């Protein structure tokens, strides 16, 4: 079906108490994995094009991949710009057919962030395309740890200890970057944004789902504004309280999980790193099994399958399964193991 905008998708999710998963369109396999998972789960889904994907594939290619996949999809798909850098980039995306925009003005002073966001909201709304804006700053794990330190944390068999190390080194800084609820109210009024990506204690690019979310801040922001809230950096957030317990991670009273965040009113959940890691895991296992393989599809397809399972598991966790009206036939499934 044709692309849909994220506006109705998120408003319905907000009304009905679930969240829509937003996954990154990094290559053709990931795009197919996301669409196939959404079809199997009968869920609406957002495919987003990040700044990295624009550099890697080019805007034209990334956009064309999502459009082609969405056209064949039996579930609604929105094409979203992830962490848009400027007014100009948003306008270009509007022109090439994005159905959901984002401006990340977190590096700008607040007034400038508001000014640019308001301009983008205005032009987007002229043609019915909604905007998501960032308030506060959602940091990257690389802001606090060197690549060697990240590998060490990743390989630490004691998950609770790894979380403690992140808390000690980055906790206070992540907290200081969180969005201010009073500012959120003002920001929403002055920008006219349709969705708010508020910094609520998550960190971009974590290697595992182990990090506690500041659920107190999620609730405060929820009370300050009635707009759909967006959670970034969701790959690192602990999925459920049961998971936290199983992994020996103690949650403080003001902390929570992804499941808690959806209950508290988050309507869009961005997951990128976890999909990428699932894809790499599948491809790596295939390559280890068949080191002399000459057909790259036979290595990439197991990556697609892993990524698809991961995406489906998030869709279920977010409560989005069964929330799409399924129309027409599902996309052609990627079964190419014996392709020549």
What amino acid positions are annotated as catalytic residues?
82
In eight-state DSSP terms, residue 83 is: S
Is residue 268 close enough to count as binding Zn ion by CB under 5 A?
no
Q: Which of 232, 268, 308, 323 binds Zn ion (CB under 5 A)?
A: 232
Is residue 308 close enough to count as binding Zn ion by CB under 5 A?
no
Query: How is 101-112 classified by DSSP, letter by letter?
Result: EEE--TTS-HHH
Is residue 272 close enough to count as binding ligand G3H by CB under 6 A?
yes
Across the strands, what pairs with 197?
134
Between 67 and 232, CB nearer to Zn ion: 232
The long-range contacts involving 325-330, CB below 8 angstroms and separated by at least 24 positions, are 325/76, 326/39, 326/42, 326/74, 326/75, 327/1, 327/74, 328/1, 328/74, 329/74, 330/36, 330/39, 330/40, 330/73, 330/74
Q: Which of 76, 201, 228, 233 binds ligand G3H (CB under 6 A)?
A: 233
Phi, psi of 51 (to 5 degrees): -65, -40
Q: Find the residue with minimal CB distance to Zn ion.
A: 232
| CA 108 to the chain's CA centroid | 22
Site for ligand G3H in 37-66 (CB under 6 A): none
Is residue 80 close enough to count as binding Zn ion by CB under 5 A?
no
Burial class of residue 239, CB neighbours in 10 A (0-12, 13-18, 19+) = middle
Burial class of residue 64, CB neighbours in 10 A (0-12, 13-18, 19+) = middle
Q: Which of 36, 39, 41, 82 binds ligand G3H (CB under 6 A)?
A: 82
Distance CA(20)–CA(12), nearest Å, equals 10
Window 179-208: contact mask with ligand G3H (x via CB under 6 A): -------------------------xxx--
What is the closest distance, in whole angstroms, from the C-beta atom of residue 200 to ligand G3H in the complex?
12
What does 222 bind: Zn ion, ligand G3H, none (CB cut-off 5 to 8 Å by kind)?
none
What does 220 bind: Zn ion, ligand G3H, none (CB cut-off 5 to 8 Å by kind)?
none
Between 4 and 206, CB nearer to Zn ion: 206
Is residue 235 close enough to count as binding ligand G3H by CB under 6 A?
yes
What does 235 bind: Zn ion, ligand G3H, none (CB cut-off 5 to 8 Å by kind)?
ligand G3H
Q: Count CB neighbours of 242 within 10 A.
A: 11
Q: Single out the segment in contact with ligand G3H by CB under 6 A; choices: 185-193, 232-240, 312-320, 321-329.
A: 232-240
CB 44 within 8 A of CB 321: no
Could you list the residues that contact Zn ion (CB under 5 A)?
A: 232
Could you list the residues that contact ligand G3H (CB under 6 A)?
A: 82-83, 204-206, 232-236, 270-274
């Amino acid at each position: 079906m044709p692309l849909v905008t994220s506006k109705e998708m998120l408003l319905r999710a907000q009304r009905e108490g679930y969240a829509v998963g937003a996954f990154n369109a990094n290559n053709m396999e990931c795009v197919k994995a996301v669409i196939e998972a959404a079809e199997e789960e009968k869920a609406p889904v957002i495919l987003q094009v990040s700044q990295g994907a624009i550099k890697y594939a080019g805007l034209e290619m990334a956009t064309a991949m999502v459009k082609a996949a969405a056209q064949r999809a039996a579930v609604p798909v929105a094409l979203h710009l992830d962490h848009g850098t400027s007014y100009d980039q948003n306008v270009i995306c509007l022109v090439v057919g994005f159905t959901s925009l984002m401006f990340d003005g977190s590096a700008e002073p607040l007034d400038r962030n508001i000014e640019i966001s308001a301009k983008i909201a205005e032009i987007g709304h002229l043609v019915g395309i909604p905007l998501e804006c960032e308030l506060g700053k959602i940091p990257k794990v690389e802001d606090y740890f060197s690549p060697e330190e990240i590998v060490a944390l990743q390989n630490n068999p004691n998950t609770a200890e790894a979380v403690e190390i992140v808390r000690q080194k980055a906790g206070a800084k992540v907290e200081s970057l969180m969005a201010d609820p009073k500012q959120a109210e003002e920001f929403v009024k002055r920008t006219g944004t349709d969705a708010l990506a508020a910094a609520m204690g998550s960190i971009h690019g974590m290697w595992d789902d182990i990090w506690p979310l500041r659920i107190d801040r999620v609730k405060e922001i929820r009370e300050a504004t009635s707009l759909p809230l967006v959670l970034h950096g969701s790959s690192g957030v602990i999925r459920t309280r049961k998971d936290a317990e199983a992994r020996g991670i103690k949650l403080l009273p003001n902390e929570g999980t992804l499941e808690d965040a959806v209950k508290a009113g988050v309507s869009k959940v961005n997951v990128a790193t976890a999909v990428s890691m699932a894809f790499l895991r599948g491809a790596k296992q295939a390559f280890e099994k068949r080191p002399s393989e000459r057909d790259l599809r036979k290595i990439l397809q197991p990556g697609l399958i892993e990524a698809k399972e991961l995406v489906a598991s998030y869709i279920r966790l977010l409560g989005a399964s069964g929330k799409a009206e399924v129309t027409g036939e599902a996309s052609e499934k990627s079964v190419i193991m014996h392709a020549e």
